[in-house]
Amino acid sequence: MKIIHKLTNLCFAFCLLAMAVLSVRCSDALEEDVFVDVASNNFFKNDKDAVTAVDAIYAKMRADGSVTGGSGQQEGWGGFGYGEATIFNYQQVQTDEMVVRWSGFGVFTNFTLTPSSYGNVGFVFGDLFEGIFIANNVLTNIEDNDNLSEEIQDRVKGEALFGRALFYSTALSIFGNIPKITQPESDPLNLPKQAPPSEIAQLVIEDLTEAASLLPESYSASDYGRFTKGAAFAQLARFQLNQKNWSAAIDAARTVMALGYTLSSEYSDIFSVNNESNLEIILTIPCIAQPGIGNTMVAHSGEPDFYAGGWGGHLARNEFYDTFDPEDQRKALLIKEYQSATGSMKTVSDGAMIIKYEVDPDRIGPWAGNDIVLHRLGEIYLTLAEALNEENGPNQESIDLINELRGRAFNNNPSKRIKLADFTTKESLRDYILAERSWELYAENYRRDDLLRHGKYIQQAVDRGISNAQSFHILYPIPQDEMDRNSELNQNDGY
């Protein structure tokens, strides 16, 4: 029995011990462990953290919906790439350059979009502001942060400012009346009001100017793809042009031209699989032929039985196709006669496939490795030509700049050059530049802004039979979801 008693005591002691252990652990047992993710109070502790944080801006440029979520394997069609939920869908498809076969996008092409008919692409509003939030968050956290080296602090600040300006300038163009937010809001229920568009424009200009002063002219190969000084000035030139600040646009464009970019000798090289080495390119979204990080332009425009595959969604309009000079090499990238998967030759009747990006032989499904071009020197030439004409036109410098591009497009055929004498008025050269921009820059997301700047956006729609197009359609409606979530927002006029 003694043994039993001992056992009793042992057991009892063990129980007490167990209870004690449980109780002692209690104070820290309820602290939540964080794995894989990083707790916010443990971030921005070194240069690497700051770089990883600003990398989220680059990820956001190709994301749809939430940028986080981790799998990294989504098949998203968002951001500044090509797809249904991209800037392409907002800035390109409803212009005279394009026809969209997918019936679900009729609300865009037919100017019948309402606040609640965005379908599943209305999150672009939130996408742009999520990008702005990421930039604001980086800017706040690197400010006076002693953990960071000065070099990284400057560069990351420049990248964040550029990102913020890129997202803001895009949101301003699409939605017009948007809130101005320059700090990461700590209380998510705090609802912001819209700011006058001029205030947003001022912010974009300030951000790009400061970014240009902080960003390097180029990077080592391992950082290729980051925002550069040239990109900041190119974006500034584009923005000032759209704002009709002609002299500021001229200054920015001239600064870019002094940075050592050179025109590609072949137009098609700009869009080749290996275009990252092309010296004309100022900013791209770099692509690799892998799911989610490839270029899907060919897939979006290719016919379903095109040998490179495709969904047959976005085509160049026949009327636009016909505006090209038959000898224009730029027209050669619009394809009406194509080789089908079975090897036979077929014809597209209701438009032309936009095979501007060379078909990547190593593509994986729809994903190709051609970097998506956002800014290039050819565009800067036309920007400068247009701004010079507006300031003091017509003038020989504008003509020369345009002829540089036409020379490339027509094998330096002198008969295809334009002459100052052909343009008696500023207006005539202005109209010509708009046309030249469409030949040079088609499907590169410029057309809507160009038409708006020239006051022809609504007219081009009416001219091709979209009787519904009215003056208020120069802006998109604020998506109804956003209106519901923020009672401080006012809907754009007309919707």
Partner 1 sequence: MFFNMKERSINSFQNKNIFFRRIQKQLILACTLCYISLPCCVHAQMLVKGNVKASDEPDGLPGATILLKETGLGTVTDYQGNFDIEADQGQTIIVSFVGYATQEFQLTSADFIPITLEADISTLDEIVVVGYGTQRKSDITGSVASIREADMNPGPVASVSNLLQNTAPGVVLTQASAQPGGGFDVKIRGASSVLGANGPLYVIDGFPVTSDNVQPGSSSRHRSSPPRNPLNGINPQDIISIEILKDASATAIYGARGANGVVLITTKRGNSQKLTLDYSSSFSLQRLDREYDMLNAEQFATVSNEVFLSRNPGEDPIYSPAEINTAGDGTNWIDEITRTGTIHQQQIGGSGGFKNLKYYFSANYYQHRGIADVSELERISGRTNLDYTHNRLTAGLSVTFSRTNDKQVPFGADSGGPEFGGLFDNTRYWSPLLSVRDDNGGFTPHPVRTLIPNPVSLLDIEDRINTNRILGTAFVQYEITSGLKAKLNLGRDQSNSEREALIPLSVIRGAQANGEGEAGETDSWSTLAELTLTYQKELSNNSSLTFLAGSTFQQFDSEGSSSLFIGFADQTTDFSEITSADTIGTVPFKERSRLLSYLARVNYSLNDRYLLTFSFRADGSTKFGSGNKWGYFPSGAFAWKIHNENFFSSSFIDELKFRVSYGQIGNQEIGNKRSQSLYNVTRRTVIGGSPIQGLAALRPDNPDLKWETTTQFNIGLDFALLGNRIYGSIDAYEKNTDDVLLDFQLPGTAGFDVVTLNAGCIRNRGIELGLTSRNIVSEFEWVSSFNIGFNENEWRDRAGFYPEGEQIAEENGPLGGIYGYQVIGLFQSQEEIDNSPDQSAVAVAQPGTFKYQDTNEDGVITPEDRILLGNVDPDYTFGLNNTFSYKNFDLNFFFQGSMGREKLNFTRAYLEDVDDITEGFNKSEAVLDRWTPDNPNGTVPGADGILGGFADNSEYIEDASFVRLRNITLGYTFNNVKKISNLRVYADIQNLITITPFEGADPETDEFRQYPNAKTYTLGISATF
Residue 103 CB partners (closer than 8 Å, separation 6+): none
Q: Does 482 bind partner 1 (CB under 8 A)?
A: yes
Q: Does 54 bind partner 1 (CB under 8 A)?
A: yes
Q: How far is the CB of 480 from partner 1 (least distance, A)?
A: 9
- Select from 2-10, 234-242, 395-403, 452-460 the region that touches partner 1 (CB under 8 A): 2-10
Q: Pick from 90, 105, 129, 442: which binds partner 1 (CB under 8 A)? A: 129
Rg (CA), the chain: 27
Q: Tell me the site size for partner 1, rule CB under 8 A.
A: 111
Residue 344 CB partners (closer than 8 Å, separation 6+): none
Q: Does 258 bind partner 1 (CB under 8 A)?
A: no
If the CB atoms of residues 339 and 395 are measured against partner 1, the closer one turns out to be 339
Q: Pick from 88, 105, 108, 123: which binds partner 1 (CB under 8 A)? A: 123
Site string for partner 1, 205-244 (x = CB under 8 A): ---------------xxxxxxx------------------
State the DSSP string of 414-425: GGG---GGG--S
Site string for partner 1, 370-409 (x = CB under 8 A): ----------------------------------------
Q: How far is the CB of 269 from partner 1 (least distance, A)?
A: 18
Query: How far is 82 from 457, CA to CA, in rounded Å?
Result: 22
Query: How far is 324 from 269, CA to CA, in rounded Å?
Result: 20
Amino acid, single-letter form, for residue 232: A
Site string for partner 1, 70-89 (x = CB under 8 A): xxxxxxx-------------
Strand partners, 364: 367
Half-sphere exposure of 246 (CA within 13 A, CB side): 10
If the CB atoms of residues 397 and 481 are measured against partner 1, the closer one turns out to be 481
Q: How far is the CB of 84 from partner 1 (least distance, A)?
A: 10
Query: How far is 98 from 77, CA to CA, in rounded Å?
Result: 18
Q: CA 434 → CA 27, 99, 205, 336, 372, distances in Å? A: 70, 19, 24, 24, 23
Q: How far is the CB of 33 from partner 1 (least distance, A)?
A: 5
If the CB atoms of residues 74 and 202 are measured against partner 1, the closer one turns out to be 74
Residue 376 CB partners (closer than 8 Å, separation 6+): 261, 270, 280, 281, 282
If the CB atoms of residues 62 and 430 are measured against partner 1, the closer one turns out to be 62
- The 8-class DSSP code of residue 315 comes to E
Query: How far is 296 from 368, CA to CA, in rounded Å?
Result: 6
Site string for partner 1, 12-31 (x = CB under 8 A): x-xx--xx--xx-xx--xxx
Strand partners, 315: 99, 353
If the CB atoms of residues 134 and 253 are measured against partner 1, the closer one turns out to be 134
- Select from 122-130, 149-157, 314-322, 328-336 the region that touches partner 1 (CB under 8 A): 122-130
If the CB atoms of residues 246 and 367 are measured against partner 1, the closer one turns out to be 367
Q: Which of residues 90-109 bind partner 1 (CB under 8 A)?
A: 103-104
The helix or strand, by DSSP H or E, that contains position 50, with its residue range, turns out to be: helix 47-60
Q: How far is the CB of 100 from partner 1 (least distance, A)?
A: 15
Q: Does 116 bind partner 1 (CB under 8 A)?
A: yes
Q: How far is the CB of 345 from partner 1 (least distance, A)?
A: 17
Q: Does 145 bind partner 1 (CB under 8 A)?
A: no
Other CB atoms within 10 Å distance of the CB of residue 416 = 15
Strands (E), 254-398: 281-285, 314-316, 334-335, 337-339, 345-347, 352-354, 372-376
Q: Does 37 bind partner 1 (CB under 8 A)?
A: yes
If the CB atoms of residues 99 and 489 are measured against partner 1, the closer one turns out to be 489
Q: Which of residues 291-330 bind partner 1 (CB under 8 A)?
A: 291-293, 304-305, 309, 311
Q: Does 277 bind partner 1 (CB under 8 A)?
A: no
Residue 284 CB partners (closer than 8 Å, separation 6+): 225, 275, 276, 371, 372, 373, 374
